[in-house]
Amino acid sequence: MTHLTTVATAPIAGQKPGTSGLRKKTPVFMGRHYLENFVQAIFDVVGARNEDGGGKTFVLGGDGRYFNDRAAQVILRMAAANGAARVIVGQGAILSTPAASHLIRLNRTDGGIIMSASHNPGGPNEDFGVKFNMPNGGPAPEGVTEAMYRRTTTITEYHILEAQDVDLGHIGRHQLGQMVVEVVDPVADYADLMKSLFDFPALRSLFDSGFRMRMDSMCAVTGPYAVKILETRLGAAKGTVINGTPLPDFGGMHPDPNPTWAKALMDEMMGPDAPDFGAASDGDGDRNMVVGRGIYVSPSDSLAVLAANAHLAPGYARGLKGVARSMPTSAAADRVADALGIAKYETPTGWKFFGNLLDAGKATICGEESFGTGSDHVREKDGLWAILLWLNILAVRKQSVADILKEHWANFGRNYYSRHDFEAIETARADAMMAALRGSLAGLPGRLVEGMTVNAADDFAYTDPVDGSVSKAQGVRIMFADGSRIVYRLSGTGTEGATLRVYLERYAAGPEGLDLDAQEALAPVIRAAHALAGINTHTGRTVPNVVT
Ligand code: VG1
Ligand code: CO
Q: Which residue, judged by its Cα, is nearest atom 19 of ligand 1?
A: 118
Residue 167 phi/psi, 5° resolution?
-75, 100
Single-letter residue type at 365: I
Question: According to the model, what pLDDT value does residue 142 have?
Answer: 87
Task: Report the C-alpha gap between 415 and 452 in whole angstroms.
Answer: 16
- Of 95-109, 330-344, 507-521, give the lowest mean pLDDT range: 507-521
- Does ligand 1 come within 6 angstroms of the Cβ of 493? yes
Q: Which residue, judged by its Cα, is nearest atom 11 of ligand 1?
A: 493
Q: Which atom of ligand 1 is least distant from the CA of 489?
A: 16
CA of 160: how far to CAs of 36, 89, 90, 536, in Å?
Answer: 9, 18, 21, 50
Tell which phi-psi region holds residue 473, choosing left (phi > 0), alpha (psi between -120 and 50) or beta: left
Task: Report the C-alpha gap between 103 and 190 in whole angstroms.
Answer: 8
Kindly report, residue by residue over 239-286, the tens digit of the pLDDT.
Answer: 999 999 999 999 998 999 999 899 999 999 999 999 999 999 999 999
Q: Which residue, judged by its Cα, is nearest atom 20 of ligand 1?
A: 118
- Does ligand 1 come within 6 angstroms of the Cβ of 418? no
Q: HEC states along 201-227?
A: HHHHHHHHCCCCEEEECCCCCHHHHHH
- Does ligand 1 come within 6 angstroms of the Cβ of 370? yes
pLDDT of 494 strictly over 80: no
- Among 16, 19, 502, say which to mutate for ligand 1: greatest number of ligand atoms within 8 Å of CB: 19
- Does ligand 1 come within 6 angstroms of the Cβ of 492? yes
- Does ligand 1 come within 6 angstroms of the Cβ of 505? no
Question: What domains sit in the chain, N to C, each tagged with a CATH number?
Answer: 3-186 (3.40.120.10), 190-412 (3.40.120.10), 414-547 (3.30.310.50)
State the pLDDT confidence band at 492, using cuts at 50, 70 and 90: confident
pLDDT of 516 strictly over 90: yes
Average pLDDT over residues 430-454: 95
Q: Which atom of ligand 1 is least distant from the CA of 368?
A: 9
Kindly report, residue by residue over 51-92, the tens digit of the pLDDT.
Answer: 999 999 999 999 999 999 999 999 999 999 999 999 999 999
Relative to the alpha carbon of 372, which ligand is closest?
Answer: 1
Query: For the whole model, what pTM was predicted?
Result: 0.95
Average pLDDT over residues 189-209: 98
pLDDT of 410 strictly over 90: yes
pLDDT of 228 strictly over 90: yes
- Does ligand 1 come within 6 angstroms of the Cβ of 510? no
Tell me which residue of 32, 128, 116, 37 sits closest to 78, measured CA to CA: 37
Per 3-state DSSP, the chain is made up of helix, strand and coil in percentages (nearest 5) of 35, 25, 40
Q: Which atom of ligand 1 is least distant from the CA of 97?
A: 20
